[in-house]
Structure 1
Amino acid sequence: MPETSRRGLLFGTAAVSAGALLTACTSNEPKKETPAADSRPAADDKPGKHVTIGFAGPKADHGWLNAINENAKARAGKYSDVTLEITGGSNDIAAQIGQIDTLINKKVDVLVILPADGKALTQVGLKAMKAGIPVVNLDRVFASPQAYRCWIGGDNYGMGLNAGRFIGERLKDKPDAKVVELAGMDNLELTKQRTQGFDDALKNYPNIKKVARQAADFTVETGQAKMAQLLQAQKQFDALWNHDDDQGVGALRAIQQAGRDDFLMVGGAGAKSAMDAIKADDSVLKATVLYPPTMAASAIDLARALGQGKGVGGLSELEIPASLTLYSAVVTKDNVDEYLPTGFR
């Protein structure tokens, strides 16, 4: 690829409307118009230069990961000038590298990559960038900023922080309050960040003490088993912070089986099942902190715009930002109707 063309791709600007992207990534307040990604008006949907986008993610063996794939496909389908080349997905690092290599060899215009392991896949991101294919790094960040043109993802620290603030405000007047934590996978940096955010928030509430923590590996079965252990070990506590709504399905089963209703529960990610339970208000689950899979739709917007060399509506800069962090909104009974259409299954 000629250097001028390569430079145009790597430093070209993106066309993503302020309503479709900036609201999703920066707003701290719930909006009345927050439908699911596949029903929002596509950003700058006036047809332009045709763009082939390669999309590579891990295996969709989890509700959130499946929603990532569905959001990407639905968003690409809104554009008549976009062809989406999507891989089968894999949690095996070597297999995912091979899938991305195939997309590079096909000479797609832009790559969107959600790596199974950001550090381990950094080299293939660098390879794509060196080949003149700009990379939109989705969620799990590569080890080098040279491996991507733009990163977009959720705020793991913010999830824990907002969960802790919500619980803290509910328990701030209760002497000697106790909380427990059902984490995800402890070998993942995102889990450490969620725990750190939670712990930092609780520092503002000296009356609250975290008395137990278990890692539940993001599965329904492990969520149920680990929650049962917590319930047996902790005969009394006031709140539970659960990192993930999928494992939360199992946690709620264990809670119901134990006949416990003496505490409040805050979930994480934004599954439809969790939002339904919050709306029904007939269980301990009172809130969930979002980690929106709609980020995949915004990644497609960014990729299309990079390929077309367009700009971001509502911003003065000529280039798209180097990174975009989505806000971790807290969904409660008061605002669940606004967020329910974005809930994933």
Structure 2
Amino acid sequence: MPEQRSFTSRRGLLFGTAAVSAGALLTACTSNESNEAAAAENNRPAADDKPGKHVTIGFAGPQADHGWLNAINQNAKSRAKNFSDVTLETTEGSNDTAQQIGQIETLINKKVDVLVILPADGKALTQVGLRAMRAGIPVVNLDRIFNSSQAYRCWIGGDNYGMGLNAGTYIGEKLKGKKNAKVVELAGLDNLELTRQRTKGFDDALKNYPNIEKVARQAADFTVESGQAKMAQLLQAQSKIDAVWNHDDDQGVGALRAIEQAGRDEFLMVGGAGALSALQAIKQDKGVLKATVLYPPSMAASAIDLARALGQSKGIGGLSQYEIPASLTVYSAVVDKDNVDQYMSTGFK
């Protein structure tokens, strides 16, 4: 199979991380003369950074009990501060379904102009999304998707299947000359569809490398403690490992502790999400962690851009359509030592 470099291409740089929030996604939503001319030619107003109609955005995000989830909240808040015509009404954030439904209902009763919702459980919160839409409040569904497309006006989120696919391809290319290569997978929460998609993408990528066998898999629940415990189990059970695919850089902190304690360094490890600690380790290149596949929390900043455009009845510059798209999938670029400097500023704590 020819070498695949989609994960480090210029396209990946444009659609991978922070570029999505203020650059690639809404490139022409800044005051760019050529894009304004294109908008005028198509009789379509394009959102830009100039103050316009005031928009109150209700933001119902997650409980910040994880590095990536905290970064989601911070990206949304920081982006909203860039606009003098935006007021952001935020909830406390909750991973409890009933509590989050109550928080969203409060925002609906306040008659916010637009809602941005990252549901604790997409299926369980579908009805409250429908309620908002029927009340005339457009919903930007962030990442974990509702069961019905009628429950949101626009969905923006990560490419979980692509994340696993790119991780598997990266590992496959690194091990393609090695006979009987063995890899293990440290997954996240198995009751989440996103975890299943990441595994499926990884497994599909490995089908292209018949010399590689996935010999074990453990779910580590996205926590440091479980990451350490589950990685220790994998190391104890497998005397020979050539690569590890770890779904999440937070649980990867624990996994790396287990690896260090076991004194194992014969394999390479690929992480997931793009935590600052992971990017720094990749740059130093002194351990087993050689790459991470991005799942950029800057998608929350993009969600604020989309909500503002919806509230102002504007489209996205650079597109011929009058309306904003119904869905946007963020690209999962692979970051290794060759391109880590270009992504270092996007790392989250």
User: In 1, are the aligned partners of 2:20 and 2:330 still within 8 Å (CA)?
Assistant: no
Instruction: Identify the residue that residue 148 of structure 2 maps to in structure 1.
Output: 144
Q: Deviations over 1:7-39 (max 9, x none)?
A: xxxxxxxxxxxxxxxxxxx97332599768899
State the AA in 2 paired with 1:66: N
Deviates more, 1:38-47 or 1:196-205: 38-47
In structure 1, the residue matched to 2:266 is 262
Partner residue in 2 for 1:161: 165
Aligned residue number for residue 312 of structure 2: 308
Matches within 5 A, 1:166-205: 166-205=170-209
**Is the CA contact 1:30–1:335 (under 8 Å) kept in the aligned structure 2?**
no
- Percent same amino acid among aligned pairs? 79
AA in 1 matched with 2:215: V
Q: 1:339 aligns with which of 340, 343, 347?
A: 343
For 1:17, the equivalent position in structure 2 comes to none
1:1-345 mapped onto 2 (5 Å cutoff):
28-31=11-14, 43=30, 44-345=48-349
User: CA 1:34–1:65 in structure 2 vs 1: closer, same or farther (change >3 Å)?
Assistant: closer
For residue 255 of structure 1, report the CA deviation from its aligned partner. 0.3
Query: Aligned partners of 1:151, 1:230: CA distance in 2, in Å?
Result: 36
CA contact (8 A) 2:16 2:294 kept: no
- Give 1:189's aligned amino acid: E
Partner amino acid for 2:69? L
Instruction: Quote the Cα distance in structure 1 between the aligned partners of 2:183 and 2:91.
Output: 42
- Contact (CA 8 Å) 1:118, 1:143: kept in 2 or not? yes
**TM-score of the aligned structures, taking structure 1 as reference length:** 0.90
Q: Secondary structure at the match of 2:50?
A: coil
Change (3 A) 1:147 1:85: same
> Are the counterparts in 1 of residues 21 and 299 from structure 2 also a CA contact under 8 Å?
no
Q: Counterpart of 1:325 in structure 2: which amino acid?
A: T
| Displacement over 6 Å in runs of 4+ | 36-42
Write the distance in 2 (CA, Å) between the matches of 1:80 and 1:237.
53
Please list every run of 5 or more consecutive structure 1 residues that lacks an aligned counterpart in the other structure. Answer: 1-25
2:281 alignment partner AA: A
Structure 2 letter corresponding to 1:205 = Y
- 1:29 is paired with a residue whose SS is helix
Q: CA RMSD in A?
A: 1.9
What letter is aligned with 1:113? I
Letter in 2 for 1:262: E
1:280 to 1:299, Cα distance in 2 relative to 1, 3 A: same
Provide TM-score, normalisation by structure 2.
0.89
Contact 1:270–1:292 (CA under 8 A) maintained in structure 2: yes
Give the C-alpha shift of residue 126 in structure 1: 0.1
Taking the aligned partners of 1:280 and 1:335, their CA distance within structure 2 comes to 13
